[in-house]
């Protein structure tokens, strides 16, 4: 019996079918992979939120500080909220998003300012710098500080952000809120956890809906608590900066805030609904 070989046309047809199937299936696989990373990120954020709840129980219902200095003979070490939560999290990797490996370099940011850090080198989730007060008095980078906040004083725990997928701007001579930006890592969205210990996924354009029913009091710097404006000048036709490179170059300033204009932070998830702290205004001068 004579065996018949494939003709060139038949081989080309098979190759074409495989190529069509690959074009159909690869995006599906990519979406499934991203969905798995998003689910893991939500789990990480729930663990972080739980650690904050336990910390509050140990410290008279007071939120941990985002940062404060420890002056040592070897230099100034910054104790951050990442470090303060480690005894409760017990795993530094939880602070890194599976979609952001190896994570943002918190240590490099501090080292560039001549500062050291304690335990946590990298993180992907940014703390709400209005909720987690700071006291960097004694350092030339700040002249005032944000007091700590009691968890029971919050007007709406379900609408007060705690941590969010974010980007730490490098080589910036400050540690202010407008240099810690939200980053859309999952299908044009990001994961946010709240003061009630919940964690959710939001598309970038849904951020503006958080706490929108709570008006900002007189004296608040921003017109709303949380916002995310588009920036076609720096982020392409969609106006959505997603990569570290574009987020590093996008302009962010603390003043001249406009919700849909070109001034102010590109994507601001800092602030405490019900208080004049609509980003992370320092309200007490250093002595």
How many alpha carbons lie under 13 Å from residue 174 in its C-beta half-sphere? 11
Examine the pLDDT at 285 and tell me if it is beyond 60.
yes
Q: What is the pLDDT of residue 235?
A: 87
For residue 76, list its beta bridge partners: 71
Rounded to an integer, the average pLDDT of 17-30 is: 78
Q: What is the pLDDT of residue 236?
A: 87
pLDDT tens by residue, 217-250? 988 888 889 998 888 888 889 889 999 999 998 8
Range with lowest mean pLDDT among 103-117, 170-184, 255-269: 255-269
pLDDT tens by residue, 82-119? 999 999 999 999 999 999 999 999 999 999 999 999 88
- Measured between its terminal Cα atoms, the distance across the chain in Å is 99
pLDDT band (50, 70, 90) for residue 272 = very high
Backbone angles phi, psi at 59, to 5 degrees: -125, 50
pLDDT band (50, 70, 90) for residue 55 = very high
Examine the pLDDT at 30 and tell me if it is beyond 60.
yes
Range with lowest mean pLDDT among 79-83, 85-89, 168-172: 168-172
Q: What is the pLDDT of residue 145?
A: 93
Whether the predicted model's global pTM rises above the 0.85 cut: yes
Range with lowest mean pLDDT among 1-5, 20-24, 52-56, 164-168: 1-5
């Amino acid at each position: 019996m004579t065996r018949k070989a494939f003709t060139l046309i038949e081989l080309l047809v098979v190759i074409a079918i495989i190529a069509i199937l690959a074009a159909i299936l690869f995006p599906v696989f990519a979406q499934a992979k991203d969905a798995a990373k998003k689910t893991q990120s939500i789990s990480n954020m729930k663990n972080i939120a739980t650690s904050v709840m336990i910390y509050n129980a140990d410290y008279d219902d007071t939120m941990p500080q985002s940062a404060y200095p420890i002056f040592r003979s070897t230099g100034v070490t910054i104790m951050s909220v990442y470090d303060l939560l480690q005894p409760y999290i017990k795993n530094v990797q939880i602070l890194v998003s599976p979609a952001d490996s190896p994570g943002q370099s918190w240590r490099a940011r501090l080292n560039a300012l001549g500062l050291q850090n304690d335990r946590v080198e990298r993180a992907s989730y940014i703390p709400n710098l209005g909720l987690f007060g700071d006291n960097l008095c004694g350092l030339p980078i700040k002249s005032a500080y944000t007091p700590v906040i009691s968890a029971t004083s919050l007007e709406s725990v379900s609408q007060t952000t705690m941590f969010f997928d974010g980007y730490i701007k490098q080589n910036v001579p400050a540690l202010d809120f407008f240099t810690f930006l939200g980053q859309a890592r999952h299908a044009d969205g990001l994961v946010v956890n709240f003061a009630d210990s919940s964690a959710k996924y939001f598309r970038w354009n849904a951020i503006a809906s958080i706490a929108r029913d709570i008006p900002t009091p007189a004296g608040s710097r921003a017109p709303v608590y949380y916002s995310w404006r588009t920036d076609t000048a720096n982020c392409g036709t969609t106006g959505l900066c997603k990569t570290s490179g574009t987020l590093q170059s996008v302009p962010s300033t603390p003043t001249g805030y406009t919700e849909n204009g070109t001034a102010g932070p590109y994507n601001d998830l800092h602030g405490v609904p019900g208080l004049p702290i609509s980003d992370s205004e320092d309200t007490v001068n250093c002595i």
